Amino acid sequence: MAWSRYIRVLLLGSALLGAVVYAFILVLDPYMDVPVSPSLPRAPVSTNQRFAYPALARLPAFDSAVVGTSTMRLLDPQELDAQLGGRFVNLAMNSATPYEQARILEVFLRHHPQPRLVVLGNDGSWCNRDPEAGNYTFRAFPEWMYDDSPWNDLLYLFNDKALEDAVRMLELLRGKREPKYRLDGYRDFTRDFGRYDTKAVHKRLYASRRARDASSDTEPSLARPDWQFPWLPRLKALLQAVPAGTRIVLLYPPVHRHYLENMASNIAECKGRSAALLAGLPNLVTLDYMQVSKLTAADDNFWDAVHTTRPVARLVEADIAALLAGSTPPSGYAEVRRRAPP
């Protein structure tokens, strides 16, 4: 065979194989964002929530959202639906930066112009004082999934990761794989931790005993005007973009006391600055567990310094429901920093 013919056959075969692979990806639509893909009973299969959640944020079935880091992931949309009404989607992502949290909430708001409720967690991520803090973590973040156009997504789907996730989607459709997350974004990630081991938990909680802050006072403060919190203006702009008829819960989730004491001054100042910046939002309520209490001091409420057990998540859900109904949160562990009319 002449070299020229061999090269033509090779190029044609490669092109055909590429076309078949690309068509396979588009038909299986692993990220549920291809406008021309056939209707199939899909569910999230990507292990990276940053790829899995934009499609969920666009689904019209939902009218309320939870946003934050992994400290918000145990809030169960089904529990929130039952106690608050409506349809919740949990869009909280592991180690999500403020930028990433803002981007996923922006997608939700773009496709839900009149949402009922937004619950946004601040476990300290919005309180980062590092002016060089980046927009991303080491995890890939697909900016193309977060813009207004679904068509440009097609340019980014011809790659090995999309092919891997397309195979996972095929396995899901054939009943050979479970969804990575429910269609409302929830997954009880603590089940991956195995049996609750008190000694191992204690070791994780007290891995570092050296306190970086001598104070345990986490009451909102304005004592350090020299400190800069570069993400807080973005938080204000983000929440100002939420429609006026939407209720907003700014939640400071529970973290372990030992961890909290090491960052108390920073959290206190951040709370004070946030309260001042967000004072003009009439539909905002603030529920604060980031303080020393019996809840945050009990080791068996935690898997590690920032991740609680499931019963604590149920407690937080009940407190949110009571607060929005105009009642006092029943747990007694949270400070209501700000109320809004029910």
- d(Cα 2, Cα 149) in Å, to the nearest integer? 46
Evaluate if residue 209 carries a pLDDT over 90.
no
Q: Domain for residue 211, yes or no?
A: yes
CA–CA separation, 66 vs 73, rounded Å? 8
> What's the domain count of the chain?
1
- Identify the CA nearest to 295 among candidates 252, 334, 336: 334
**What residues make up the domain containing 197?**
48-142+182-338
Q: Per the domain annotation, does 10 fall within a domain?
A: no
- The continuous run of DSSP H or E covering 171 comes out as helix 160-173
In this predicted structure, the answer to whether residue 211 has a pLDDT above a threshold of 70 is no
Residue 167 lies in a domain: no
Residue 187 within a domain: yes
pLDDT, residue 3, reads 72
- The domain that holds 95 is classified in CATH as 3.40.50.1110
pLDDT of res. 268: 95
Residue 43 domain-assigned (yes or no): no
Residue 16 is predicted with a pLDDT of 86
Half-sphere exposure of 244 (CA within 13 A, CB side): 2
Band (pLDDT 50/70/90 cuts) for residue 4 is confident
Report the percentage of the chain scoring pLDDT > 90. 81
Q: Is 148 part of a structural domain of the chain?
A: no
Is 98 in contact with 61 (CB distance < 8 Å)? no
Cβ–Cβ < 8 Å for 123, 255: yes
Evaluate if residue 63 carries a pLDDT over 90. Answer: yes
Convert the pLDDT of each residue in 34-61 to its tens digit.
Answer: 998 999 999 999 999 999 999 999 999 9
As a dihedral over the C-alpha atoms of residue 88, residue 240, residue 288, residue 210, rounded to 10 degrees, the angle is 110
Distance CA 159, CA 104 (A): 23
Three-class SS state of 136: coil
The answer to whether residue 310 sits within a structural domain is: yes
pLDDT tens for each residue of 97-142? 999 999 999 999 999 999 999 999 999 999 999 998 999 999 999 9
Q: How many CA atoms lie within 13 A of 66 on its CB side?
A: 32
313: in domain: yes
Q: How far apart, in whole angstroms, are the C-alpha atoms of residue 20 and residue 14? A: 10
Q: How far is Cα 337 from Cα 281, in angstroms, rounded to an integer?
A: 14
Euclidean distance between CA atoms 277 and 269, whole angstroms = 12
